C-alpha cells in the first residue's frame, strides 16, 4: 500500500519537487539532527570519562548547534544539483556543509591530546593511568576518525558544484555514504553498547567479553577501511574517469559496470565483508550474549 502510494507520488510529481523533499529528509536527518546528536553524545561521554574539560565540551556543543542550525540547513542544497537551483545557492551550500565536521574533529583531537598528555603508558616514576571504559573510548575515537575521513574528506571530495556535475550518483557517493554512515553513526552505536556492557559487569567478569569487544573493534574498523580501499574508492575514481572520457550515461551503463576490472574490484571487496561480519559483528553479538549470561548468573 505504502509502496504503491510512494510510487504514485513519484510518478506524478515533478522530479524537482520529489528530490527537494527527499533531501529535506536525508540531509537534514544525517547532517542536521544526527550530527548534532552525535557530537553532544560524544562530548558528554568524553566528559563523563574524564578525558575532556567542561569548558571545551560546552564550547564545542554551542559551536556545533550554530554550525548545524545555520550551516546544516543551508548545506541541504549540496544535494540539489539537478533540481535547478541558482549558482549562489549551490556555492553557499558547498561552503557551509564543509564546515559541519569541524566541531566533532576538534573534540576528538582534544580527547586524543588529553590521553597523550596524561599517558596511558607508565613513564618512569608516574603511575600508569587506566582509562575507564577503554573500548567505549576507542569506539568514540573511531567516530571522530570516520567522521573526519568519511564525512569530511570523502564528503568534501564530492561537494563542490563543479564536481557534483560529473559525480552525483556515482560510486564515490557510496564511498562517502558508507564511510560516513557506518563510520560515524555505526561506531557511535557500538560505543554506547560497549559502555552499557562494561557498566553492568565487574572487572573480573569483564575479562572474557573484553577480548571479543577488542576483536570487534578491529574487525569493524579494518573491515570498513578495506571496503573503502579495495572497492568503493577505486571503482568510484574509475567511474568518474569514465564520466569525463565517455559521458555520464556511459559511466552508469552496464557497459561500464560489466567490465572485467570492475567485476574484479567487486570480488576484491569480499575480504572486507567477511572481516566486517565475522570479525566485527559476530564477536560483538557474542560479547553481548556473554554479558547477558553473566548478569543472569550473578
Ligand atoms: C556523518 C555525516 C554524513 C553522513 C552520514 C552522510 C551520508 C550521505 C549519504 C547516505 C548520501 C547519499 C544520499 C543519496 O543519494 O540518497 C550522501 C550524499 C552526499 N553527501 Fe553526505 N553525509 C554526511 C556528511 C556530509 C558532509 C559533511 C558533506 C560535505 C562536506 C557531504 C556531502 C555530500 C554530498 C555532496 C552528497 C551528494 C552526492 C550525490 O548526490 O551523489 N556529506 N551523504
Ligand atoms: Fe548532505
Ligand 1 lined by 286 (C-beta under 6 Å) = no
Ligand 1 lined by 51 (C-beta under 6 Å) = no
Q: Residue 49 Cα, ligand 2 centroid: separation in angstroms?
A: 31
Mutate which of 151, 163, 186, 228 for ligand 1 pocket (most atoms within 8 A of beta carbon)? 151
Q: With a cut of 70, say whether residue 114 has pLDDT above it.
A: no
Q: Give one word for 247, left, alpha or beta, with left for phi > 0 and alpha for psi -120 to 50.
A: left
DSSP code at position 169: T
Per this entry, what is the length of the chain?
Answer: 298
What local confidence, expressed as pLDDT, does residue 122 receive? 45
CA distance 72 to 192: 25
32 vs 198, more confident:
198
Phi, psi for residue 64 in degrees, rounded to 5: -65, -45
Report the SS3 class of residue 288. Answer: helix
CA distance 27 to 293: 40
Q: Give one word for 50, left, alpha or beta, with left for phi > 0 and alpha for psi -120 to 50.
A: left
Q: Residue 75 Cα, ligand 2 centroid: separation in angstroms?
A: 7
CA distance 223 to 283: 13
CA distance 143 to 42: 9
User: Can you name the CATH fold of 133-298?
Assistant: Cytochrome C Oxidase; Chain A (1.20.210)
Q: How many CB atoms lie within 10 A of CB 3?
A: 7
Do residues 157 and 163 make contact, with C-beta atoms less than 8 angstroms apart? Answer: yes
What local confidence, expressed as pLDDT, does residue 286 receive? 98
Domain ranges of the chain: 1-125, 133-298
Among the bound ligands, name the one nearest to the CA of residue 96: 1
**Model confidence, pTM:** 0.88
Question: How high is the mean pLDDT of the chain?
Answer: 87
Ligand 1 lined by 163 (C-beta under 6 Å) = no
Retrieve residue 144's grid coordinates. 571522530
Q: With a cut of 60, say whether residue 128 has pLDDT above it.
A: no
The pLDDT tens digits of the residues spanning 217-242 come to: 999 999 999 999 999 999 999 999 99
Task: List the one residue out of 271, 277, 167, 177 whose CA is nearest residue 227.
Answer: 271
Amino acid at each position: 500500500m505504502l509502496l504503491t502510494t510512494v510510487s504514485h507520488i513519484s510518478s506524478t510529481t515533478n522530479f524537482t519537487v520529489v528530490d527537494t523533499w527527499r533531501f529535506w529528509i536525508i540531509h537534514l536527518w544525517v547532517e542536521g539532527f544526527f550530527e548534532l546528536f552525535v557530537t553532544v553524545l560524544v562530548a558528554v561521554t568524553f566528559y563523563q570519562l574524564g578525558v575532556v574539560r567542561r569548558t571545551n565540551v560546552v564550547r564545542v556543543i554551542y559551536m556545533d548547534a550554530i554550525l548545524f542550525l545555520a550551516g546544516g540547513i543551508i548545506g541541504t542544497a549540496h544535494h540539489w544539483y539537478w533540481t535547478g537551483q541558482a549558482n549562489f545557492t549551490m556555492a553557499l551550500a558547498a561552503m557551509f556543509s564543509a564546515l559541519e565536521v569541524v566541531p566533532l574533529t576538534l573534540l576528538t583531537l582534544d580527547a586524543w591530546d588529553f590521553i597523550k598528555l596524561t599517558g596511558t603508558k607508565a613513564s618512569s616514576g608516574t603511575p600508569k593511568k587506566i582509562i575507564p571504559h577503554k573500548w567505549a573510548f576507542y569506539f568514540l575515537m573511531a567516530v571522530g576518525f570516520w567522521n573526519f575521513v568519511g564525512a569530511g574528506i570523502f564528503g568534501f571530495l564530492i561537494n563542490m558544484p563543479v564536481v557534483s556535475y560529473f559525480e552525483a550518483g556515482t560510486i564515490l557517493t557510496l564511498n562517502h555514504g558508507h564511510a560516513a554512515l557506518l563510520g560515524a553513526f555505526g561506531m557511535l552505536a557500538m560505543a554506547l553498547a560497549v559502555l552499557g556492557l562494561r557498566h553492568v559487569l565487574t572487572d573480573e567478569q569483564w575479562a572474557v567479553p573484553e577480548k571479543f569487544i577488542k576483536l570487534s573493534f578491529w574487525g569493524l574498523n579494518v573491515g570498513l577501511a578495506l571496503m573503502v580501499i579495495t572497492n568503493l574508492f577505486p571503482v568510484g575514481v574509475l567511474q568518474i574517469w569514465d564520466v569525463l572520457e565517455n559521458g555520464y550515461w556511459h559511466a552508469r551503463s552496464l557497459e561500464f559496470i560489466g567490465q572485467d576490472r570492475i567485476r574484479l574490484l567487486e570480488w576484491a571487496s569480499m575480504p572486507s565483508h567477511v572481516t566486517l561480519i565475522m570479525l566485527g559483528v559476530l564477536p560483538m553479538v557474542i560479547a553481548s550474549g556473554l554479558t547477558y549470561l553473566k548478569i543472569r548468573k550473578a
